[in-house]
Amino acid sequence: MARGTVIDLNRLSIEQWDATHLRWPELVHYIQHEDLAVGVIEDERPVPDARYLVVPTASEIAGFLMLIIQPIGPEMDCPILQSSAGIPLLEAKIRAFHVREGYRNHGIGTALQQAVLQTAARCGCYQVRSWSASTRASNYAIKVKLGFAAHPSPRTIRGVVVPGIYWIKRVDGGC
């Protein structure tokens, strides 16, 4: 996309894709090219139970977000959290979020994050959670604008300790 091009967000849509989508190989290539494949795809196939929200244009993918609906707790080696009624609490965990360079600062990232909040509410989730490295200032701006709480927390990635932040937002209409 050319620099300075105006993007009409009303002409773009957010679609949920899986491996049966005709453009799935294009998404796989995009994920691999951006070095996001670990935990996001497995041998060019979707991760079980993953949801891939994609913003396609006629010629390329403008951005995507991958999430999993999961019980709160086990991923952090804790028991499953439950409501006072004994019902397991669920979260929409964002595992990957990326907007192609030429499409940034046009609302696509915000729209993807809002779509996750809507998906989480439809699925009965208590919260949305994600982690990002401290270097992701544009992601921080979106999360703060949408009312996410921040919890600084380093993670070890490929043997290297990376400073970062867990972002958590209670889902309106969740449990």
Give the DSSP letter of residue 59: S
Q: What are phi and psi of 27, to 5 degrees?
A: -65, -45
Mean pLDDT of 138-164: 91
Q: Is the pLDDT of residue 4 over 80?
A: no
Mean of per-residue pLDDT scores for the chain: 91
Q: Is the pLDDT of residue 41 over 70?
A: yes
Judge whether 175 lies within some domain: no
What is the pLDDT at residue 136? 86
Judge whether 124 lies within some domain: yes
Strand duo 127-133 + 90-99: pairing: parallel
Judge whether 3 lies within some domain: no
Domains in the chain, number: 1
Q: Is the pLDDT of residue 76 over 60?
A: yes
Judge whether 31 lies within some domain: yes
What CATH number does residue 73 fall under?
3.40.630.30
Judge whether 154 lies within some domain: yes
Judge whether 162 lies within some domain: yes
Q: Cβ(102)–Cβ(83) under 8 Å?
A: no
Question: In angstroms, rounded to a whole number, what is the distance separating the alpha carbons of residues 147 and 169?
Answer: 7
Mean pLDDT of 38-49: 90
- How far, rounded to the nearest angstrom, does the alpha carbon of residue 141 sit from its chain's CA centroid? 15
**11 — pLDDT class (breaks 50, 70, 90):** confident
Judge whether 4 lies within some domain: no
Q: Which domain holds residue 117?
A: 9-170
Q: Cβ(47)–Cβ(39) under 8 Å?
A: yes
Judge whether 77 lies within some domain: yes
Kindly report which listed range (6-15, 58-67, 93-102, 149-158) carries the lowest average pLDDT score: 6-15
**10 — pLDDT class (breaks 50, 70, 90):** low
Residues composing the chain: 175
In this prediction, what percent of the chain has a pLDDT beyond 90?
74
